[in-house]
């Protein structure tokens, strides 16, 4: 075979992969941030998780990307391994969409599709339409790459050695190994499937051989998620293990069934008389059947991954970034996930500090006092580091919605840091109370307790799984309630001061407490409005 044909095949593959990359990045810019939010908000309902996996992966064109996203969510504590398992199952179905697109066999008009996409990118002013144009031009390049590969592979029909090699893939073991190695190397089962469809269209490989190679594709696509889990938490590693187990068990079932049931003949019967369509349907059939069979055992699959990946995560030094890698600012998906996780961590520390500060105000404890100031140091550190990380991340290319979310989180960490400052003020007042043995009336303690209860409700509301509108309405209600309390109790306090029933020094600290609590409420309201 002439070296020219090999160059043509490699060029076609490059164009195919480039087209896939353009489509994926374009779709991510159009809907990526919404998709990330869609995945993150998936409930514990496994059926909903499967549908989320199908939809998201169909849009971003990569089950590997979806699984890497899930590994990041689990590592950040935003999703459990049980939630991630059902989404992974759906992702395997969603990834078959690319193969079905290739099976449309519209290679003849691919250049026109690419030109339309180019015209949209260059001629339209709105960013969203430009991104859609990028998707269209990517689709055109994908089909042009398929055409180049098919044309370049045509002479292989006359090569006895190559034909002999292809017939060996009817052996399940060889087919699975070949599929695993190819997909592991190029890290895209969709691209590997495109190559296989090009070979089949030229009559170089039969559907039965393709069946086993497709099983290997599904195992090989796990490489990306496994690599992303290296160095992550144990649960993140278990999420990657679920991806491997799902495809491995599915392959074992499928291969065992193929010796009893003529699966290739069954798929060929309901497919068009086009090899690419038969292969696409085989890929879809494999993933749907595997999901249907293993879905009832999704919890057992998660538990198996937990047993295989043993051990617990080491406790990290508190004065450090737990979820953010300061050197990694290139991937907007992971950047935002990690920022949100670190912000949630920071908010949790502030909430705990508020609880401790109120406890020592009523009954001083030196150990709790020290914990508060240690936590305050962590809050200040996180404010500085997260803000710096967000500023670096905003220099990367991303859609406007994601940029707005990052900016909102920058303001949110600033508000949390200010919450921490006022909590520290309460702790300092508690220390003064202890050292000077100051006393408060029963009524003033009840007043402070009423404000504390409303603020703690605000903290808890931010963590609740409710709509943004409902959360903001609740926060506004309790913030207004605190403002009214402060006004009323300040008047009560002035009356006590005038009547001489309140110690002047205690009275000054009571006023200081009202100011601190009012500002904690205000900043909690601001931070809660910015969270998503």
Average pLDDT over residues 247-263: 89
Average pLDDT over residues 463-485: 89
pLDDT at res. 8: 73
Q: What is the DSSP annotation of 461-518?
A: HHHS---HHHHHHHHHHHHHHHHHHHHHHHHHHHHHHHHT-S-HHHHHHHHHHHHHHH
CATH number at residue 490: 1.20.58.220
Asked if residue 463 belongs to a domain, the reply is yes
Judge if 419 and 522 occupy the same domain: yes
Taking 50 as the threshold, does the pLDDT of residue 317 lie above it? no
Asked if residue 79 belongs to a domain, the reply is yes
HSE-up of 80 (CA within 13 Å, CB side)? 12
Taking 60 as the threshold, does the pLDDT of residue 44 lie above it? no
Between 365 and 163, residue with greater pLDDT: 365
When mean pLDDT is compared across 247-251, 329-333, 404-408, 454-458, the lowest value belongs to: 329-333
Asked if residue 82 belongs to a domain, the reply is yes
Asked if residue 327 belongs to a domain, the reply is no
Asked if residue 315 belongs to a domain, the reply is no
Strands (E) in 114-178, as ranges, are none
Question: Token pair for residue 497?
Answer: 């001061």
pLDDT tens, residue by residue, 47-106: 888 888 888 777 766 677 777 777 777 776 667 788 888 888 988 888 888 778 777 767
pLDDT tens, residue by residue, 190-238: 777 877 887 787 777 888 888 888 888 888 888 877 877 776 678 888 8
Question: Which DSSP helix (H) or strand (E) runs through 411?
Answer: helix 400-436
Q: What whole-number percentage of the chain has pLDDT above 70?
A: 86
The residue whose two tokens read 């709790």 is 368
pLDDT at res. 293: 92
Asked if residue 104 belongs to a domain, the reply is yes
Asked if residue 326 belongs to a domain, the reply is no
Band of residue 427 on the pLDDT scale cut at 50, 70, 90: very high
When mean pLDDT is compared across 226-235, 292-301, 429-438, the lowest value belongs to: 226-235
Looking at the structure of the chain, the number of domains it has is 2
Taking 90 as the threshold, does the pLDDT of residue 415 lie above it? yes
Judge if 347 and 198 occupy the same domain: no
Are 410 and 387 a contacting pair, CB within 8 Å? Answer: yes
Judge if 359 and 295 occupy the same domain: no
DSSP, collapsed to helix, strand or coil, labels residue 42 as coil
Judge if 15 and 148 occupy the same domain: yes
pLDDT at res. 162: 62
Q: What is the DSSP annotation of 52-78?
A: HHHHHHHHHT-HHHHHHHHHHHHHTTS
Boundary of a domain, candidates 308, 343, 358:
308
pLDDT at res. 154: 65
| Closest of 344, 85, 314 to residue 336, by C-alpha | 344
When mean pLDDT is compared across 27-31, 176-180, 289-293, 394-398, the lowest value belongs to: 27-31
User: Which residue segment(s) compose the domain that 518 sits in?
Assistant: 332-530
Are 371 and 356 a contacting pair, CB within 8 Å? Answer: yes
Taking 90 as the threshold, does the pLDDT of residue 389 lie above it? no
Judge if 219 and 169 occupy the same domain: yes
Judge if 302 and 336 occupy the same domain: no
pTM tops 0.75, yes or no = no
pLDDT at res. 78: 64
Judge if 203 and 256 occupy the same domain: yes
Judge if 215 and 252 occupy the same domain: yes
Judge if 154 and 20 occupy the same domain: yes
pLDDT at res. 11: 81
Tell me how far apart the alpha carbons of residues 91 and 240 are, in angstroms, rounded to a whole number: 13
Are 213 and 179 a contacting pair, CB within 8 Å? Answer: yes
pLDDT at res. 356: 94
Tell me how far apart the alpha carbons of residues 359 and 368 are, in angstroms, rounded to a whole number: 9
Judge if 293 and 351 occupy the same domain: no
Taking 90 as the threshold, does the pLDDT of residue 335 lie above it? no
Judge if 49 and 111 occupy the same domain: yes
CA dihedral 393, 397, 399, 400 (to 10 degrees): 60
**Those residues with Cβ within 8 angstroms of residue 134's Cβ, 6 or more apart along the chain or in another chain:** 22, 23, 25, 26, 29, 117, 121
Sign of CA dihedral 429, 433, 436, 440: positive
pLDDT at res. 316: 45
Which range of 9-18, 52-61, 95-104, 367-376 scores highest in mean pLDDT? It is 367-376
Average pLDDT over residues 132-142: 83
Q: What whole-number percentage of the chain has pLDDT above 90?
A: 19
pLDDT at res. 396: 77
In which region does residue 437 sit, left (phi positive, over 0), alpha (psi from -120 to 50) or beta (all else)? left
Are 421 and 383 a contacting pair, CB within 8 Å? Answer: no
Judge if 137 and 250 occupy the same domain: yes
pLDDT at res. 193: 80
Asked if residue 146 belongs to a domain, the reply is yes
Are 211 and 263 a contacting pair, CB within 8 Å? Answer: yes
Which range of 34-43, 152-161, 336-345, 453-462 scores highest in mean pLDDT? It is 453-462
When mean pLDDT is compared across 50-59, 111-120, 414-423, the lowest value belongs to: 50-59
Q: Return mean pLDDT, the chain.
A: 82
pLDDT tens, residue by residue, 152-187: 766 666 666 666 666 677 788 888 888 888 887 766
Are 183 and 220 a contacting pair, CB within 8 Å? Answer: yes
CA Rg, the chain, in Å? 30
Between 327 and 69, residue with greater pLDDT: 69
């Amino acid at each position: 075979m002439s070296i020219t044909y090999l160059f043509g095949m490699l060029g076609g593959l490059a164009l195919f992969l480039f087209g896939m990359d353009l489509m994926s990045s374009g779709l991510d810019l159009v809907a990526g941030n919404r998709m990330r939010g869609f995945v993150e908000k998936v409930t514990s309902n496994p059926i909903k998780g499967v549908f989320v996996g199908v939809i998201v992966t169909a849009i971003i064109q990569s089950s590997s990307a979806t699984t890497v996203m899930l590994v990041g969510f689990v590592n950040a504590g935003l999703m459990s391994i049980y939630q991630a398992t059902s989404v992974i199952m759906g992702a395997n179905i969603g990834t078959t969409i690319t193969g079905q697109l290739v099976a449309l066999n519209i290679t003849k008009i691919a250049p026109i599709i690419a030109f339309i996409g180019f015209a949209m990118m260059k001629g339209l002013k709105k960013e969203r339409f430009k991104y859609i144009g990028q998707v269209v031009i990517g689709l055109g390049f994908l089909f042009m790459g398929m055409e180049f590969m098919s044309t370049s592979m045509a002479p292989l029909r006359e090569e006895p050695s190559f034909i002999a090699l292809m017939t060996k893939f009817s052996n399940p073991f060889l087919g699975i190994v070949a599929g695993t190695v190819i997909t592991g190397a190029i890290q895209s089962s969709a691209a590997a499937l495109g190559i296989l469809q090009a070979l089949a269209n030229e009559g170089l490989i039969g559907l039965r051989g393709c069946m086993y190679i497709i099983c290997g594709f599904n195992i090989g696509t796990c490489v990306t998620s496994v690599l992303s889990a290296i160095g992550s938490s144990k649960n993140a590693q278990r999420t990657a293990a679920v991806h491997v187990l799902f495809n491995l068990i599915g392959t074992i079932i499928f291969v065992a069934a193929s010796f009893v049931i003529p699966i290739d003949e069954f798929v060929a019967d309901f497919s068009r008389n086009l090899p690419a369509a038969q292969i696409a349907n085989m890929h879809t059939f494999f993933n749907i059947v595997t999901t249907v069979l293993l879905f009832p055992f999704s919890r057992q699959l998660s538990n198996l991954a937990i047993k295989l990946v043993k051990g617990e995560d080491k406790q990290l030094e508190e004065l450090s970034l737990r979820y953010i890698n300061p050197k990694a600012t290139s991937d907007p998906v992971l950047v935002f996930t990690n920022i949100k996780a670190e912000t949630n961590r920071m908010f949790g520390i502030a909430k705990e500090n508020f609880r401790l500060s109120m406890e020592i105000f009523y009954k001083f404890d030196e150990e709790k006092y020290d914990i508060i100031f240690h936590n305050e140091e962590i809050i200040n550190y996180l404010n500085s580091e997260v803000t710096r990380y967000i500023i670096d991340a905003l220099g990367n290319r991303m859609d406007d919605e994601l940029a707005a979310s990052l900016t909102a989180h920058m303001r949110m960490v600033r508000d949390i840091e200010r919450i921490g400052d006022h909590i520290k003020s309460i702790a300092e007042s508690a220390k003064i109370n202890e050292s000077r043995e100051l006393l408060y009336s029963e009524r003033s303690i009840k007043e402070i307790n009423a404000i504390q209860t409303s603020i703690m409700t605000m903290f808890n509301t931010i963590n609740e799984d409710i709509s943004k509108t409902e959360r903001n309405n609740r926060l506004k209600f309790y913030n207004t309630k605190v403002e009214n309390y402060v006004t009323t109790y300040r008047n009560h306090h002035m009356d006590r001061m005038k009547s001489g029933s309140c110690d002047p020094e205690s009275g000054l600290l009571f006023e200081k407490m009202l100011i601190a609590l009012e500002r904690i409420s205000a900043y909690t309201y601001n931070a809660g409005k910015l969270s998503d």
